[in-house]
Amino acid sequence: MSNVAYSSKKVFKKALFNIGFQVVPIAAALILTPYLIENMGKDFWAKYSTGISLVFLSNYFSFGIGPTLNRRVSKIIGLKQNYRIQAELRECVSFSYLLGLAFFILLQAVLYASYISESFSILRTDQDYVFYSIVLCVFFLSFLIIPYKSLLESFSDFYFLAIARAITAAMLFLVPFLYISLFDVSLTGISTTLLFIYVILYLLYFVRAKSYEGKLSFKMISPVNWEMAKGLFRFELGFLKETIWFSIFFATSAIVLFFDRFYYPLFFDTRTISDHVTLLDLFNRVAIVTGTISLVYFSAISVWYQENNLRRVTANLKLQLIGVGLLFFVIALVSYFFLDTILLWWLKSSYSNFIESNGFRLLIGTLLVNYTILLIRPLQAIGEIKQVSVWLMSSTLLYLIIVLFLGAFYLIDYHFVAFITKALIDVIILVTLLRRKKIL
């Protein structure tokens, strides 16, 4: 399988297909966001977008079980020892249940405490509390999907994954649009619909992963069985160690992407939070490029490195860095001249002084932060997970200090400083690490 599914040409085609297919969620976001802000109001939109951020946090709270399974199964495929896949999958499924339940209970407790204390501008009414409670159920389901999604990534099944991810991302905008069009603005109704959709997604990912049993000669793990239950508190040490270091990477990523969304509401009203989140959600669409490319190449680099094919690793990594670097430069250049005009046309009456003042500089910070993903993932793919995570802890601590300062002194307009500072330091260190490993 490694000679076919992981050839440079095939991996490149899959990367392009995955990026191309992301036109669907991008179009949904660009077309529907102004409508949703206008019809939901900035108050409801701030709550909804924050709730959706909780769903995405499942990937960051998962202790890295997904990429751990991806890397280890990719290594197994490179060694042509497919019989070991079942044991690795069992570890990941057990972990997903344990972590999912633990974080679900913890976050429900935090949610209740926040609701009682009325500390957050986005959590004041009974309806707000019910909405976030249902969102946490979606969060739990997202945890359960991780093992099967990651297994498909290690199998390089990126055609199916591209379609599934595009539909999932688009649903976050289509569901509220359709619900509002057919009924009325109801965060409870919208979140319940999303919960139903995620149940279907869970079943689809499982069935798709199971279809590889015959082709790769391994046995799938059923979502509910006694062996899996017994493994909830008994893990293979190697798998556990790797997930711990991956978890640090995801924790640092979660802080950079989401901490401000839950911290700034302590100091700013929902209108300001809505504008801030709207800009970040728009600009972070570039993560579709870096995230998709690094994900598609992650398992391939792991296999190539296992085969000692460093020349192929280096050539494909340089292709990614140069290609994405040029794309981001063009985006920045065009935005310097036309971003305000585009945002005014896009948001219409929802356009504000905050958006005008902060648009371009937040974009630059977002581009730099997302570019570092292309430097992080190759190091993780070749097993340098601990070294990368240790460094990211340091740079993220600096980012966190800056954000805490900005919130406490009501300086949300300077949030871009935290982005740019962290990104520039990370680029210098990560490039140095890549050169030491002779893959750049």
Q: Please write the tens of the pLDDT for every residue from 310-357.
A: 899 999 999 999 999 999 999 999 999 999 999 999 888 889 999 999
List Cα–Cα distances, 337 to 356, 359, 364, 367, 414, in angstroms: 13, 12, 13, 17, 21
* Residue 239 pLDDT > 50: yes
* Residue 137 pLDDT > 90: yes
* Residue 2 pLDDT > 50: no
Please tell me the predicted confidence (pLDDT) of residue 330. Answer: 97
For residue 439, the number of C-alpha atoms closer than 13 Å in the C-beta half-sphere is 28
DSSP assignment string, 24-69: HHHHHHHHHHHHHHHHHHHHHHHHHHHHHHHHHHHHHSSTTHHHHH
CB 94 within 8 A of CB 231: yes
Q: What share of the chain is helix, strand, coil (3-state, %, to 5)?
A: 85, 0, 15
Residues near 53 by Cβ (< 8 Å), separated by ≥ 6? 258, 261, 262, 277
Question: How many whole angstroms separate alpha carbon 237 and alpha carbon 196?
Answer: 36
Question: How many whole angstroms separate alpha carbon 62 and alpha carbon 66?
Answer: 8
* Residue 223 pLDDT > 90: no
The whole-number average pLDDT for the span 56-69 is: 78
Q: Please write the tens of the pLDDT for every residue from 83-94.
A: 888 888 888 888
* Residue 231 pLDDT > 70: no
In 269-384, alpha helices (H): 270-283, 287-306, 310-347, 353-371, 373-381
Confidence band, pLDDT 50/70/90 cuts, at residue 233: low
* Residue 401 pLDDT > 50: yes
Return mean pLDDT, the chain. Answer: 87
* Residue 5 pLDDT > 70: no
Phi-psi category of residue 189: left, alpha or beta, with phi > 0 → left and psi -120 to 50 → alpha: alpha
CB 297 within 8 A of CB 11: yes
Report the share of the chain in percent with pLDDT over 70. 95
Bigger pLDDT: 335 vs 124: 335
Please tell me the predicted confidence (pLDDT) of residue 128. Answer: 86
What pTM was estimated for this model as a whole? 0.76
For residue 151, the number of C-alpha atoms closer than 13 Å in the C-beta half-sphere is 30
Cβ of 13: how many Cβ atoms within 10 Å? 14
Question: How many whole angstroms separate alpha carbon 222 and alpha carbon 430?
Answer: 39
* Residue 3 pLDDT > 60: no
* Residue 35 pLDDT > 70: yes
